[in-house]
Chains A and B, each alone.
Chain A
Amino acid sequence: MKGTAHKIGDDINTDYIIAGKHKRDTFDAALMAPHLFEDLDPGLASRIKPGDIIVAGKNFGCGSSREAAPMVIQAAGVSAVLAPSFARIFFRNAINIGLPLLQCDTSAIDDGDLLEIDIAGGVIRDKTHKKDISFKKLPEAMSAIFREGGLVPYLKKHKQFPV
């Protein structure tokens, strides 16, 4: 996958990803997608093109358990989220729906960088800075879920949890 980096800060909470008022009336992520990151940066949703990559600081996705958060990121066409750390519930939710989260040092990536991600090869190539960044492997249980595209396809196929 290949896309432009959109750089955001530390501790981006699920309210910033999608505000409660926009998730209240629906659980259709496509309807919520125009409001992605609205209270953080009102113009960001319209700047994100399909395939683009969110590059965040530490503790991305802290706050509520709303699965709408990763769903809306996915519905906006984001191909992956990069951060040095992810909050626990968000991490599970994203993997459960098959949204790639890559845990890595994001400090050297700048807003607007062109990134190419090779998930199987374990490397992120910053084409702008001509620099490779490695990311942490998912724990085995989560990797198994992710490989099937999420927990629903995993459970349909395997009929039990990956433990």
Chain B
Amino acid sequence: MGKTISEKIFSNRSGRDVYANDIVVADIDRLMAHDGNGPLAIKIFRDLGGARVFDPARMVFVLDHYAPSPNERVSRIHDIIRNFADETGCRLHDVGDGICHQLMMEKHGVRPGDLVVGSDSHTCTYGALNVFSTGVGSTDTAAAMLTGKMWFKVPETIAVNVVGLPPQGLAAKDVILNIVSLIGADGAAYQAIEFKGEYASAMSMDDRFTFSNLAVEMGAKAGIFEYDDKTGAWLDDVGSGKGDYAPVHSDRDALYSRSVAVDVSALAPVVAMPHAVDTIAPVSDLDGLPIQQAFLGTCTNGRLSDLETARGILKGKKVAPGLRFIVGPASRDVYIEALKNGIITDLVEAGAVIVPPGCACCVGVANGIPGDGDAVISTANRNFRGRMGNAKASIYLASPATVAASALFGKITDPRKVL
């Protein structure tokens, strides 16, 4: 019987011929922990009697959630990670290097066919690279640090076929928010998603990262793309193309739990409404709603093409008076590129506040907490009440173009007016 991408990766990494619903112990190719959940993983690793990490070169720590440290307690937490990395020889990204997921893909040789786990739910982002990657908690992370292995139930897979020609002004973020709304916050629970179809093939790598990133907002364990020339070129660009990785393709007769078809030609730009990611509305319905803060960044939409899109809309103009426009590049490399080609200058001239590469104001633990009653438009992946640090604020999620257009007018704005 044919296999899905997930069934093949779990077969390869467990050394057994496995299918959906089989329970396996599998070898982990890369493991990641950040400052949010890493210190607890280190404590549990010690509780388990751990001294040596199974392979320090495969274990990456990233200080990104609270970066730079806002107080002495966080500084102590950062030091736990720094000291541990120093002692064990694990890799470490200190504050300012960027968001863990972007760094895993840019700097740590995450490659097609790999099995990767991280102490963060958006670890699923690397699915865009034809990887099975998923988020776990601190105890599972600690056990994997010790053994290099983890137990899994091989997931069933939903095939999401994205077809059709996108109308002008429709961003990948609009498409994936539509898919999240269609499938629902738990519609893919315990399952993997394979994104397929002509639109998926035509997507840029940055857009594929946005898609895979939002898989967990449907409850999915992973959101995976087929490998193609674009994947290969991206890996070559970041220096992960060397060596002999083996892309994994799904078989024609693979068994899917269900298929969902999405025709993008019928879609329009949307926002996810407060306080749920799967409740969307056409941006045109909200056009004119006053906002106090706009945020461009995160592991969903803080990459170069996202910044470039915003520059296209804001260059030579000014954001609305009284509006805070916060921009957090996803990584140091993204930041440097954006500096070199003038994007940062154009955005700062337009009124942007650039914050260090990292999670910025995504999860309400660093600079950029909204005020009471504020409406925020953001490119992030979650808009739960209190997510950005203030339960009295409302968060609308949208594409980089919608966020930039809205920043320009100080109101939620249909990006098709300015594109």
Binding site for B on A (CB under 8 A): 11, 13, 15-16, 19-21, 23-27, 38-40, 58-59, 62-68, 85, 87-89, 92-93, 96-97, 139, 141, 150-152, 155-156, 160-163
Contacts and interface: CB of A to CB of B under 8 A. Distances in A.
B364 A20 contact: yes
Interface string B26-67: 000000000011011001100111000000000000000110
Interface centre among A27, A38, A160 (most CB of B within 10 A): A27
Secondary structure at the A interface, as helix, strand, loop or mixed, is loop
Interface in B201-221: 219, 221
Given A15-B384, A25-B73, A88 B189 contact: yes
A152 B47 contact: yes
A144 to B, nearest CB: 10
Given A87-B219, A152-B44, A152-B48, 14 more contacts: A24-B73, A38-B391, A39-B385, A40-B385, A67-B37, A85-B186, A88-B219, A92-B137, A93-B140, A96-B137, A96-B140, A155-B146, A156-B49, A163-B24
A162 B36 CA distance: 28
A83 to B, nearest CB: 11
A67 B137 contact: yes
Nearest to A64: B121
A24 B139 contact: no
21 contacts: A11-B276, A16-B384, A19-B386, A20-B387, A38-B391, A39-B391, A62-B185, A62-B186, A64-B135, A65-B118, A65-B137, A66-B137, A67-B37, A67-B40, A89-B121, A96-B139, A141-B153, A152-B48, A152-B142, A155-B48, A163-B23
Contact of A163 (B151, B186, B189): B151
Contacts of A97: 139
A26 B44 CA distance: 15
Interface of B: 23-25, 36-37, 39-40, 43-44, 47-49, 65-66, 71, 73-74, 77, 118-121, 123, 135-140, 142-143, 146-147, 149-151, 153, 185-186, 189-190, 219, 221, 276, 363-365, 382, 384-387, 389, 391
Contact of B136 (A26, A89, A156): A89
Contact of B48 (A16, A93, A156, A163): A156
A68 B137 CA distance: 9
Given A24-B66, A26-B73, A161 B135 contact: no
Contact of A25 (B71, B221, B364): B71
B346 to A, nearest CB: 31
Contact of A20 (B77, B123, B363): B363
Contacts of A64: 120-121, 135, 363
B141 to A, nearest CB: 9
B37 A161 contact: no
Contacts of B221: 88
Contacts of B39: 27
Contacts of B382: 13, 15, 63
A29 to B, nearest CB: 10
A9 to B, nearest CB: 11
A62 B219 contact: yes
A13 B384 contact: yes
Contact of B365 (A20, A89, A139, A163): A20
A152 B49 CA distance: 10
Given A19-B386, A141-B151, A59 B189 contact: yes
